[in-house]
Amino acid sequence: MTVYLVDNSIWQKAGRSPRIAARLRELSPQHLILTCPPQVLEYCHSARTPEEYNELREDMESFLKAPQRPSATSAIDVQHALWRTGLVRAAGALDCLIAAYAIANDAVLLNSDRDFGHIERATGGRLRQEYVAE
């Protein structure tokens, strides 16, 4: 069993991308899927009404919350790794924090966003990520 943290780039495209939907179906019965606060914040940010917000929040409640929190400096260390490798603005602040959660929980970060590939390279593979194209 592998532990996965699923980024919003996957959740947002799952309904329109057969490839992404198939990968999620492959994972769900055999592997553990985690959430973390910054990922849930991003996911719920797309809501357009209070009702939709509640639905999105409930979606995320069905997954296990990441049991380990990154240290106070972990996300900053991820961002610093990007700077050290010349990938200065290759990933945003929330992506650095989500990556820090994945690292702290030894989870593979499933994504459809090239930012996490940059973080994987910058951290020398401490972030394990799987990119799924649309």
Q: pLDDT tens across 76-104, in order?
A: 999 999 999 999 888 899 999 999 999 99
Angle, CA of 10, 115 and 133, to the nearest 5°: 40
Per CATH, the number for 3-131 is 3.40.50.1010
* pLDDT single digits (tens) 4-34: 999 999 999 999 999 999 999 999 889 999 9
Average pLDDT, the chain: 95
The span from the CA of 98 to the CA of 103, in Å, is 9
Q: Going edge to edge, which strands form the sheet with 108-111?
A: 64-65, 32-35, 3-6, 108-111, 128-131
Per-domain boundaries in the chain: 3-131
The span from the CA of 78 to the CA of 130, in Å, is 17
pLDDT at 88: 86
Phi, psi (degrees; rounded to nearest 5) at 55 = -65, -45
Tokens of 108: 């593979």
